[in-house]
């Protein structure tokens, strides 16, 4: 069942983190991460799964403006995010930019 959950991620805008109710210190960390990623021409969004696992996902902003997170990437991100959350770390995950013909 875990793999079935892991490959069904939902992408949401960064603003969803403001609605969750993190402490002001936690939100400052998210905002610093987002600012740092913007300087690197990357955007930050939230990827979450049905079982409550989530992560702040950094993705390249280069054209074209389409983002596809395949099942393998979703499973890898799920495992990374789960390990971070289990260790009481904020789950920051970064995707690399690839071009497929």
pLDDT digits (tens, 9 = 90+) for 63-74: 556 677 778 888
Asked whether residue 74 is assigned to any structural domain, the reply reads yes
Asked whether residue 36 is assigned to any structural domain, the reply reads yes
Instruction: Identify the pLDDT of residue 63.
Output: 59
Asked whether residue 24 is assigned to any structural domain, the reply reads yes
For residue 97, give every residue at least 6 positions away whose Cβ sits within 8 Å of its Cβ, in sequence order, or none: 59, 60, 62
Least confident among 23-32, 35-44, 90-99: 90-99
Asked whether residue 101 is assigned to any structural domain, the reply reads no
Paired tokens of 43: 């955007």
Residue 1 confidence (pLDDT) above 50 = no
Please indicate whether residue 13 or residue 65 has the higher confidence score (pLDDT). Answer: 13
Instruction: Identify the pLDDT of residue 34.
Output: 92
CA 67/CA 64 separation, integer angstroms: 9
Asked whether residue 87 is assigned to any structural domain, the reply reads yes
Asked whether residue 90 is assigned to any structural domain, the reply reads yes
Please indicate whether residue 53 or residue 70 has the higher confidence score (pLDDT). Answer: 53
Asked whether residue 99 is assigned to any structural domain, the reply reads no
Domain total for the chain? 1
The domain containing residue 72 runs over which residues? 2-94
């Amino acid at each position: 069942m875990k793999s079935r959950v892991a490959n069904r991620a939902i992408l949401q805008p960064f603003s969803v983190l403001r609605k969750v109710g993190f402490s002001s210190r936690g939100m400052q960390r998210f905002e610093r991460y987002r600012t740092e990623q913007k300087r690197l021409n990357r955007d930050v969004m939230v990827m979450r799964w049905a079982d409550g696992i989530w992560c702040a996902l950094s993705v390249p902003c280069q054209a074209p403006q389409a983002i596809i997170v395949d099942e393998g990437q979703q499973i890898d991100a799920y495992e990374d995010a789960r390990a971070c959350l289990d260790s009481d770390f904020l789950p920051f995950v970064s995707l690399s930019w690839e071009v497929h013909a």
